[in-house]
């Protein structure tokens, strides 16, 4: 019979537990403790005694192994594993910070700069996770902590999976719908296969929550929340907060796409949007307290280190010369099949490739950029399409003058699309939840 964990208990003649457990989180409960050997605070996570079984113990150990394997500054370090009176436990790095759901509850919608800074850091963790084939599957505000230095830690890899490694994936294959309602992706809800884009959905929902102080899907009941997630187009945060930059609004909208293939392809794309917005990081009283700036100063120097492009690639791969004709054909096929976002991505890839080799004013560069912009219209992203088209118009005027035929045609196309653009409407997906 399992015994209850008691305050002050000593684990391995080294770790002295605190007075009370901090929380019941995921598959276990978390206690504060003191590492008496190294004289430092640590966290101790025990398997939940009430629900403990063989599978739960395996999942618990798997979480520790996955977290240790990740080895990223945005993830708490695992120091030790053990067993106390039949209760498995893990010793983790103590994080002195605030979970995002508590931060938003106390502060309300967060400043744009901080939303971007936090989101960019989460993106980096997801990038590192994908590089070892890891899918977290439970990205949400309560699983992210903001330290007093402004650094972010992603917690709780208890639902994580490595689809290409049976040692880590087989335990959860029969329980694919695990996750958090309102934050888990539609493919999780339906019990379908998950990949790195599943975590991007959770990141999108977390960004929405930080921007608006509301989850993107919050029905009165679990059933209505799930129905909104599966049946409705994603909400736009600008419907609740008008000053959100359009590029950030578009990103959140794309991240919350129902189909994985309609989301950004990689965490790198997400980071590229968020990083430039991480400006004007105003103090958050009672939350951020790094007076010496030790962590920020360290990170600033690390940030100056030259970064090879392959380190921000979606996954390890060989760098090959792009086959322009074949890639253009693939883009057309994707567009014909209704895979508009994937087609736009291909066309942008072609435009960037040709611009580097033949110059930004090459006619094919303009043509591929134009097709990429147009692909957002059938996705309902008229505003995004218009921004891209107007940028193209400015570039064409600089290159060819205001009376060039291509300039006049583009002006006419912009005028027509502006008339067709649907009027903004208030999102109907948010239903006030009395229990929130």
Q: Answer whether 217's CB lies under 8 Å from 225's CB.
A: yes
Task: Report d(CA 108, CA 296) in Å as an integer.
Answer: 25
Write the burial class of residue 286 (CB in 10 Å: 0-12 exposed, 13-18 middle, 19+ buried): exposed
Q: Structure tokens of 335?
A: 């567009």
Q: Answer whether 92's CB lies under 8 Å from 76's CB.
A: yes
Q: Which residues lie below 8 Å from residue 273, measured CB to CB, with a gap of 6+?
A: 247, 248, 251
Q: Answer whether 369's CB lies under 8 Å from 348's CB.
A: yes
The angle formed by the CA atoms of residues 156, 316 and 295, to the nearest 5 degrees, is: 50
Exactly one of 35, 138, 209, 250 is catalytic; name it.
Answer: 138
> How does DSSP assign 74-125, residue by residue?
TSPPEEEEEEETTEEEEEEE---EEEHHHHHHHH-SPPHHHHHHHHHHHHHH
Ramachandran region of residue 139, left (φ > 0), alpha (ψ -120 to 50) or beta?
beta
Query: Please, how many CA atoms are within 13 Å of residue 71, restricted to the half-sphere of its CB?
Result: 3
Task: Report d(CA 252, CA 205) in Å as an integer.
Answer: 8
In terms of C-beta distances under 8 Å and separation of at least 24 residues, what long-range contacts does 302-305 make, across chains too?
none
Task: Report d(CA 121, CA 277) in Å as an integer.
Answer: 13
166 is catalytic: no
Per DSSP, the three-state class of 25 is strand
Strand partners, 434: none
Q: Structure tokens of 211?
A: 């921007």
> Which backbone phi and psi does 21 adopt, to 5 degrees?
-70, 145
Task: Report d(CA 129, CA 138) in Å as an integer.
Answer: 13
Write the burial class of residue 201 (CB in 10 Å: 0-12 exposed, 13-18 middle, 19+ buried): buried
Per DSSP, the three-state class of 393 is helix
Per DSSP, the three-state class of 82 is strand
Task: Report d(CA 33, CA 61) in Å as an integer.
Answer: 20
Please identify every residue annotated as catalytic: 138
């Amino acid at each position: 019979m399992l015994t209850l964990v008691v305050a002050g208990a000593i684990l391995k003649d080294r770790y002295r537990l605190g007075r009370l457990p901090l929380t019941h989180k995921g598959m276990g409960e978390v206690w504060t403790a003191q590492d008496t050997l190294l004289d430092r605070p640590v966290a101790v996570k025990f398997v939940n005694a009430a629900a403990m079984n063989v599978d739960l113990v395996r999942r618990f150990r798997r979480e520790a192994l996955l977290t240790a394997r990740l080895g990223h500054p945005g993830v708490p370090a695992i120091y030790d594993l053990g067993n106390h009176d039949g209760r498995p436990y893990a010793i983790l790095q103590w994080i002195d910070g605030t979970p995002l759901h508590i931060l938003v509850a106390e502060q309300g919608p967060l400043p744009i700069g901080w939303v971007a800074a936090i989101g960019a850091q989460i993106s980096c963790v997801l990038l590192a996770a994908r590089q070892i084939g890891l899918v977290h599957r439970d990205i949400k505000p309560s699983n992210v902590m903001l330290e007093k230095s402004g650094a972010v830690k992603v917690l709780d890899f208890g639902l994580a999976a490595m689809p290409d490694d049976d040692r880590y994936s087989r335990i959860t294959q029969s329980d694919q719908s695990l996750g958090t309602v309102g934050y888990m992706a539609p493919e999780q809800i339906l019990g379908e296969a998950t990949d790195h884009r599943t975590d991007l959905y959770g990141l999108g929902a977390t960004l929405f929550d930080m921007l608006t102080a509301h989850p993107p899907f919050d029905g009165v009941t679990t059933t209505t929340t799930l129905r909104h997630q599966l049946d409705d187009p994603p909400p736009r945060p600008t419907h609740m907060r008008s000053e959100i930059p359009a590029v950030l609004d578009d990103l959140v909208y794309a991240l919350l796409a129902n189909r994985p293939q309609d989301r950004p392809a990689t965490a790198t794309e997400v980071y590229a949007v968020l990083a430039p917005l991480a400006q004007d990081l105003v103090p958050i009283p009672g939350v951020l307290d790094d007076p010496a700036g030790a962590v920020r100063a360290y990170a600033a120097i690390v940030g100056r280190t030259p970064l090879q492009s392959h380190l921000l690639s979606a996954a390890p791969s060989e760098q090959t010369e792009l086959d322009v004709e074949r890639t253009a054909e693939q883009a057309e096929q994707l567009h014909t099949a209704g895979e508009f976002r994937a087609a736009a991505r291909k066309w942008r890839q072609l435009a960037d490739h040709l611009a580097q080799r033949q110059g930004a004013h090459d006619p094919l560069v303009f043509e591929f950029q134009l097709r990429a912009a147009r692909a957002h219209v059938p996705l309902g992203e008229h505003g995004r399409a218009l921004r891209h088209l107007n940028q193209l118009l400015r570039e064409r005027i600089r290159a060819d003058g205001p009376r060039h035929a291509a300039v006049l045609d583009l002006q006419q196309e912009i005028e027509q699309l502006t008339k067709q653009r649907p009027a903004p409407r208030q999102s109907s997906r948010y239903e006030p939840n009395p229990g929130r």
